[in-house]
Amino acid sequence: MIIQGHEIFAPLKLKTHSVVVGSGAGGGVAAYHMAAAGLETVVLEEGGYFQAKDFNQREEDMMPALYRSKGQQTTTDGMIYVWQGSTFGGSTVINTADATPIEAEVLHHWQQKFGLSELTEDNLAASYKRVYKMLNVHRLEDQILNANNKLLLETANRLGYKAGVFESNRKNCVGSGYCFQGCAYDAKQGTNLTYLPKASELGARIYTDVRVDRIERLFGGKYRVHATVVARGSRKARHPVEIDCERIIMAAGTVHTPAILKRSGFDKGLPQLGKNISLQPQIGLSAVMPDSQKMTSWRGAPQSIYMSEFDDNHAEHGLGGFRMEGVGGMVGIFSHFGNTIGHDHKRLMAEYPNTHFSALLVPDQPSGTLDWEWGPDGKVKPKIQYKLTEEWKQRFKRGYKTAAEFLFEAGAREINCNSPVFGPITSPDQLSRIDEFPLEPGMVALTSAHVQGSCRIGLNADVGVVDQNLQLHNLDNIFVVDGSVMPTTASTHTMVPIMVMADRAMHKLAQGA
């Protein structure tokens, strides 16, 4: 059963076995396993319940409806946009449905550096099988690949570089191009269309527009969840909710899960809570191609092809290097690219159909920290403190130069990025300008779609927040199953890694193992 906030007109008191906080990648999987095990399960989701019929394929409407802080959540210095979904289905509703596993080198890194001996490919194999089946993961069909993405593959082939087509969790995708705005065709297989409806069929009660504020410990090892029904849109507090339960599964995402734990006073004895954040920052690049070379970046699967020649994944550091991936479907955000205004900017925008858009992804090492403030109504204001390391900056510049060379090889006439100050590069002999690229607040807008860490797995409370079964080190029966548990960035895309880790832990728990 799905109960929306506007259907609740009075304070609510409930009792249940398990409460799942958040309904995204991790929460969806947890809800399904708890309900499938026959346990009375309540899911609490702060965001609203939106369906295919509500998605109008327009950024200015869908970002406020589906994204955390309307898509305006940033690091405290404003330099990196930290995109997260906040709706029934969480970020799986707004992602581009690229399905990538945890890289083998990352698992080796976790084993070597953190001693996580249980997280092996063999031990995760059954979870991959279950998750891939539920999500219908398969290689993207050729007919929905667009010229914008194919440019990467064709150029890579010419240069002898590694590149490939993503696997994806779609079903009957028509290639509309609007994944970032929610799928109006129910093709993208997010938790909103898979795990959550299945959990609901199995008896789970899913409340949307209900924000969890804190958890209270009760006698006898039980818990009380304190939550608030909020108005959709404004998120103003409406009614209090209290739920007594035996088990809590946190899946509010990397930024909000540790906030709830902190507010509940559970940070005592967990020195790593809110630390070790990875953002995997990326920058958007645009390349104006010859008039005859139509890219039509807004149609077809928006992010379907990668160029991975410069990936540098090793057991010593996990993910490294840099890579390029095609992106599309956002005329508003792409209008920020370039540093001009007036007629110069209009000329650039008039090239939209023959402009190629891609993202340069540069994996990072965990180096961010979270801090929070709470308003009088209990609403949390997260502060994401994050500083780019020198090593990352140098790798970014190498990546930018390589990407620009690659795009000139592909036929680009002019290359811009999401910086209001850095002017266009119009020929390969200008690449040395990238050495002076202004990686400073206000000078560039980087994006993170893969915030991880903050409740990382570790062998004990000194080094981690949860154990390898994703249970809090300092309390029984509280689990964390979202992106926050990743010790370092798990893969180039994080949905499947989160689901697989959640599946392993929740399947074990449901089986009583």
Partner 1 sequence: MGNKTNLPSATRRLFLRRSLLALGAIAAAPAMTTQAIAKTADSASALSSLSVLSQEEYRILTVVGDTVVPRGGAFNLGALDIDLATRIDSYLDPDDAPMLQGLRGALMFLEHKAPALAKMEGTFSALPAPQREGLLLALRDTGGDATAVYAALRGLCTFYFYTHEHAWPGVGYDGPLVKRGRPVYPQVEA
Ligand X SMILES: Cc1cc2nc3c(=O)[nH]c(=O)nc-3n(C[C@H](O)[C@H](O)[C@H](O)COP(=O)(O)OP(=O)(O)OC[C@H]3O[C@@H](n4cnc5c(N)ncnc54)[C@H](O)[C@@H]3O)c2cc1C
Q: Return residues touching ligand X (CB under 6 A).
A: 21-27, 44-47, 83-87, 90-92, 94-98, 180, 211-212, 251-254, 256, 260, 303, 449-450, 482-483, 493-496, 498
Closest approach of Cβ 277 to ligand X, in Å? 13
Report the distance separating Cα 79 and Cα 446, nearest Å. Answer: 6
Select the binding partner of residue 234 from partner 1, ligand SF4, ligand X, none (C-beta < 5 to 8 A, by kind).
Answer: partner 1
Verify binding: residue 109, ligand SF4, rule CB under 6 A: no
- Cβ atoms of 161 and 412 within 8 Å: the answer is no
CA separation for the pair 401, 436 (Å, rounded): 12
Inter-residue contact 418 to 337 (CB < 8 Å): yes
Considering the rule CB under 6 A, would residue 178 count as an interface residue with ligand SF4?
yes
Considering only the stretches 36-44, 148-156, 184-192, 386-394, report the one whose residues sit in contact with ligand SF4 under the rule CB under 6 A: 184-192
Q: Which single residue is written with the structure tokens 């994401």?
A: 384
The residue among 114 and 306 lying less far from ligand X, judged by its C-beta, is 306
Interacting partner of 449 out of ligand SF4, partner 1, ligand X, none (Cβ under 5 to 8 A depending on kind):
ligand X
The one-letter code for the residue type at 262 is K
Binding site for partner 1 (CB under 8 A): 4-6, 48, 50, 54-62, 64-65, 70, 72, 176, 178, 184, 231-234, 236-238, 298, 331-336, 339, 341-343, 345-347, 349-350, 352-353, 420-421, 442-443, 445
Residue 62 near which of ligand X, partner 1, ligand SF4, none (CB within 5-8 Å, type-dependent): partner 1
Instruction: Choose among ligand X, partner 1, ligand SF4, none what residue 262 binds, the Cβ cut-off being 5 to 8 Å by kind.
Output: none
Number of helices (H), then strands (E), belonging to the chain: the values are: 11, 22
Q: Which one of ligand X, partner 1, ligand SF4, none is in contact with 188 (Cβ closer than 5 to 8 A by kind)?
A: ligand SF4
Query: Cα–chain-centroid distance for residue 347?
Result: 34
Residue 173 contact, options ligand X, ligand SF4, partner 1, none, Cβ 5-8 Å cut-off depending on partner type: ligand SF4
Per DSSP, helices labelled H in 171-316 are 195-201, 253-263
First to last CA, the chain: 28
Among 127, 176, 297, 492, binds ligand SF4 (CB under 6 A): 176
- Contact pick of 8, 54, 185, 240 for ligand SF4 (by CB under 6 A): 185
Token pair 């008191």 is found at 13
Enumerate long-range contacts of 234-238, CB under 8 Å, 24 or more apart.
235/46, 235/211, 235/379, 236/377, 237/377, 237/378, 237/379, 238/5, 238/8
**Residue 53 CB neighbour total at 10 angstroms:** 8
Cα–Cα dist 225/105, whole Å? 38
- Options 175-183, 192-200, 267-275, 394-402: segment touching ligand SF4 (CB under 6 A): 175-183
List the single partner that 46 binds among ligand SF4, ligand X, partner 1, none, CB under 5 to 8 Å by kind: ligand X
**Residue 456, contacted partner among ligand X, partner 1, ligand SF4, none, CB below 5-8 A by kind:** none
Q: Least distance from C-beta 491 to ligand X, angstroms?
A: 7
Q: Tell me if 318 sits within 8 A of 109, measured CB to CB.
A: yes
Between residues 440 and 462, which has the closer beta carbon with respect to partner 1?
440
Residue 89: CB minimum distance to ligand SF4, A:
13
Asked if residues 228 and 379 have their Cβ atoms less than 8 Å apart, the reply is: no
Q: Which does 91 bind (CB under 5 to 8 A by kind): partner 1, ligand SF4, ligand X, none?
A: ligand X
- What CA–CA distance (Å, rounded) separates 272 from 462? 7
Give the residue, chosen from 30, 179, 288, 485, that forms a contact with ligand SF4 under the rule CB under 6 A.
Answer: 179
Q: Which of 124, 133, 121 is nearest to 169 (CA)?
A: 133
317, burial (CB in 10 Å: exposed 0-12, middle 13-18, buried 19+): middle
Which CB sits closer to partner 1, 198 or 336?
A: 336
DSSP-derived secondary structure letter, 480: E
Contact call for residues 190 and 23 (beta carbons, < 8 A): no
Closest distance between ligand X and the C-beta of residue 93, in Å? 8
Beta strands in 279-399 (DSSP E): 282-288, 305-307, 323-326, 355-361, 369-374, 380-385
Nearer to ligand SF4 by C-beta: 170 or 493?
170
Q: Which stretch binds ligand SF4 (CB under 6 A): 39-47, 173-181, 224-232, 331-339?
A: 173-181
Q: How far is the CB of 102 from ligand X (least distance, A)?
A: 11
Q: What is the DSSP letter of 120?
A: -
Binder of residue 25, out of ligand SF4, ligand X, partner 1, none (CB less than 5 to 8 A by kind) = ligand X
User: Mapping DSSP to helix (H, G, I), strand (E, B) and coil, where does residue 384 land?
Assistant: strand
d(CA 387, CA 369): 9
Cβ nearer to ligand SF4, comparing 97 with 227: 97
* Residue for token pair 């059963």: 1
Residue whose CB is less far from partner 1, 11 or 38: 11
- Residues in touch with ligand SF4 (CB under 6 A): 97, 170, 173-179, 183, 185, 187-188, 301
